[in-house]
Structure 1
Amino acid sequence: MTISNLKKNTVLQIFTIFLRYLIGAAFVFASIVKIQGLRFTSETGAGSPINSAWHFFETMYASGIYWKFIGWGQLLSGLILMTQRWSTIGAILFLPIITNIFFITISYEFAGTPIITFLMLLANVYLLIWDWNKLKLLFSNHSYEYRDDNPPFSKLNTWAFLGIFYFFLVLIMRLGSDYLFKLGLVNPIYFMIACFGLGVLVGLILIIFEHRRTKRYQ
C-alpha cells in the first residue's frame, strides 16, 4: 500500500493533522521562556558539575543571543507546522531542531526526557514520510511532475484556522500560566488539556459549518 493510498483514510488524516498541532504546540510552549531570555527554572545551574545537564543549559542561557535564537527557531517551526497549509516546511525546519534536542537529552541524565524527545523525533519523521510526495523531488535525478495526493478533507481551511487559534491559545497559556498558577487558579497542565479540548471542539464546529456550506453549493 502506497502513502497516497494511506492518505485516503480519514482517521489517518485527522491523526496527522492533530499530530502537527501537538508537537508544534510543544515547541511553541518551550520557545517562550527562551525568547524572554529566561531560564527553564528559577535556580541557576552555574554551580552544577560541568558535565551535567543543568550546567549545559546555564551555558546556553548565558549566551543570550543564541538562547533567544533557539527560542525563535522553535516558535517559527512550531507555528508553521500548526498552520497545516505550510506544514511540510514546518516539518523540515522541525527536524534539525528536534534531532539536536534528542541527542542532548541522551548525552546527559534527563530521566525519562529522552523517551519524549525520541517520540517527537519519530513523529517528525512520520510527518516527513506523509509529505514524501512533495519531498521526493529533492532526491530525484529525473524529471518529476508533482501531483497533489492530499484529499480535500485534509486541505479544509478549517484546519488552518484551528491551527492559528490553537497557536494563540498555547501562547496565551504560556505567557499567563505562571501568574495564574501562583494565584492558585489553574494548573498549567490542566489548562493545556483544556486548550486542546477547546481547540478540538472549535474544529468540529467549523468542520460542520464548512461541510454544510459545501453541500449547499453542490
Structure 2
Amino acid sequence: MNITTIFDQFHANIRRNRWAGYFTVFLRIALAYAFIFAGFVKVNGERFTSLSNNHPMGHYLEALFHTGYYYTFIGILQMLAGILLLIPRTALLGALIYFPIILNICILSLAVRFDGSILTSPLMVMANLYLICWDYHRWKFILPFKRSTIRQMLPDSNSNSREFPFKFFGGIFLSLAVTVSIIILVNLKALMPRNHISDCQAQCPESSDAVACNHFCECIHEEGGSLNQCLEKYGRTVQK
C-alpha cells in the first residue's frame, strides 16, 4: 500500500466523521467573517487600522491605502474568498483564493513583528490549509502520482460516523500548540515595535539596556525608521 492510498483512506475516514464536518463548517465561517469584514473596509475606501505611519506595519498599510484601485481590488478578492467559503459547492475555490492572501499577511506580520496578527495569521494559514486538504478528493488528480482509478467518490452522507475522532482533533490541537509555542518562544525576548510608543516603551524596563530600548521605540514611532534600521541602531547602542 503506497502513501497516496494511505492518505486517501485517512481522508475518506475523516470525511465520514460528523464532528470533523462540524469543525470544518466552523473554520469556514470564522475565516469568511475575517475576510468579509476586512475586505468591506477596503472596498468602502477606509483605512484598515489607526496605526501611526511611523510604525513598520503602518508604513505598509498607508502605502497600500494610497494605491487606489489596487487597494479596492484586494478588498474585493477578500470578500469574494469569504463569500465562496460560505457556499459548500464553492468552498474549495474560496480556500484557494484565500490562501495566497493570508499567507502574504502572515509573512508580513512576522517580518515586521506586528502584534495585531503575529499570532492569528499563522493560525489562519493553518486553518486555510486544513480546508484545502478537506477537499483533497477534488484536486488530488492534478498531483503527479499514478492512480488506479480516475475518480474515487466519497461515501454517502448516511454512512457518516458519529464517533468523536479523538486522535484527529488531538493532532490538530497538538499542531496548534506547537505553532503557538514556536511563535511565542521566537518572539519572547525579541524587541517588539508594538502598536504605540507607550506600549513599546513598556517593555524597556525588562530590557538589558533600557536607554537603547527607548531609543529604539523613538526610532520607530517618532522618527519613522524601518524595523531593520532601528534594530541596527539598537544593536550599536547596546554594544557601546
Normalised TM-score (structure 1): 0.63
Give 1:146 deviation, angstroms: 2.2
What are the ranges of 5 or more consecutive residues in structure 2 without an aligned counterpart? 1-8, 159-240
- Alignment counterpart, residue 23 of structure 1, candidates 6, 31, 41: 31
User: Secondary structure at 1:147's aligned position in 2?
Assistant: coil
Cα deviation, residue 85, structure 1: 1.6
Q: Kindly tell me the number of residue pairs found equivalent between the two proteins.
A: 149
Q: 1:85 to 1:91 in 2, by over 3 A?
A: same
Task: Tell me what 2:22 maps to.
Answer: 14
| Residue number in structure 2 paired with 1:84 | 88
Q: Please tell me the residue identity of whatever aligns with 1:127.
A: L
* 1:151 Cα deviation from its structure 2 partner: 4.6
In structure 2, the residue matched to 1:149 is 154
User: Hey, what does 2:43 align to over in structure 1?
Assistant: 35
Moved over 4 A (4+): 141-144
| One of 24, 45, 67 as aligned partner of 2:71 | 67
User: Which amino acid in structure 1 is aligned with residue 124 of structure 2?
Assistant: M
Distance 1:55 1:127, change over 3 A: same
Q: 1:42 to 1:112 in 2, by over 3 A?
A: closer
Question: Aligned pair in 2 of structure 1 residues 55, 93: CA closer, same or farther (>3 Å)?
Answer: same
Q: CA deviation at 1:150?
A: 6.1
Across the aligned residues of Structure 1 and Structure 2, the Cα RMSD in angstroms comes to: 2.0
Give the distance between the partners of 1:141 and 1:17, measured in 2 at CA.
Answer: 30
Check whether the contact 2:51–2:58 (CA below 8 A) recurs between aligned residues: no
| TM-score normalised according to structure 2 size | 0.58
Displacement, 1:41?
3.4
Distance 1:21 1:150 in 2: 24
The unaligned stretches of length 5 or more in structure 1 are 154-218
The one-letter amino acid paired with 1:39 is R
Cα deviation digits, residues 116-174 of structure 1 (max 9, x gap): 00000000111111111111111135465223316537xxxxxxxxxxxxxxxxxxxxx
Structure 2 equivalent of residue 105 of structure 1? 109
Counterpart residue number, 2:100: 96
Contact conserved, 1:27 with 1:75, CA < 8 A, in 2? yes
CA, structure 1 residues 149+54, in 2 after alignment: closer, same or farther (shift >3 Å)? same
Q: Structure 1: how far apart are the matches of 2:62 and 2:142? A: 39
With over 3 angstroms needed to count, the CA separation of the structure-2 counterparts of 1:86 and 1:148, relative to structure 1, is farther
User: Corresponding residue for 1:55?
Assistant: 59
Contact 1:102 1:121 in 2 (8 A): yes
Output the CA distance in 1 between the equivalents of 2:26 and 2:15: 14
Contact 1:134/1:146 (CA < 8 Å) preserved in 2?
no
Q: Which amino acid aligns with 1:17?
A: V
Identity, % of aligned pairs?
32
| Rounded Cα–Cα distance in structure 1 between residues aligned with 2:46 and 2:21 | 37
2:84, 2:91 within 8 Å by CA — same for their partners in 1?
Answer: yes
Give the secondary structure class of the aligned counterpart of 1:113: coil
Q: Which amino acid aligns with 1:147?
A: Q
What SS does the aligned partner of 1:114 have? coil
